[in-house]
Amino acid sequence: MREPPNEITRPTHERKGIRKRDLNNYFAEGYLEDTTPEVAGNNYFVEEIRHFVTCLNEGKTPISPIDDAVTVQKMLDAIYRSAEAHAEVKI
C-alpha cells in the first residue's frame, strides 16, 4: 500500500494548486509532472576536454580510461552487427 503523499511526493499539479480535471495532458498515473532537469551552468564538453588535457599534461589516468571507450565501441559495433544479422552476436 502506498504512503499518503507529502509535500515532496505530491504530484506537481497538486503542489501548484492545479485541479486534476483541469489538466489537458495525463501521464501514466494521471499526473502532469515537471520533468525539466536542473543543470548547472557549466559547459560539460569544455570541462571534459579540460580534464583530458590536464591528464595528458600531468600523466594522470582520465576518469574514463581508453579501455572503457574500446569496450563501449565493441558493444556498439556488436549491436549493429546483431541488428543486421537479426541474431545475437558475441563480443
Mean pLDDT along residues 39-53: 81
Mean pLDDT along residues 70-83: 95
The two counts, helices (H) then strands (E), for the chain are 3, 0
Residue whose cell numbers read 594522470: 60
Written as one letter, the residue type at 15 is: R
Cα–Cα distance measured from residue 36 to residue 43, given in angstroms and rounded to the nearest whole number = 18
Count Cα neighbours of 6 within 13 Å in the Cβ-side half-sphere.
Answer: 2
Mean pLDDT along residues 6-19: 57
The pTM score is 0.42
In the chain, domain spans: 44-85
pLDDT at residue 66 is higher than 80 = yes
Ramachandran region of residue 30, left (φ > 0), alpha (ψ -120 to 50) or beta? left
DSSP at 31:
-
Query: What cell does 16 get?
Result: 501548484
Residue whose cell numbers read 509535500: 7
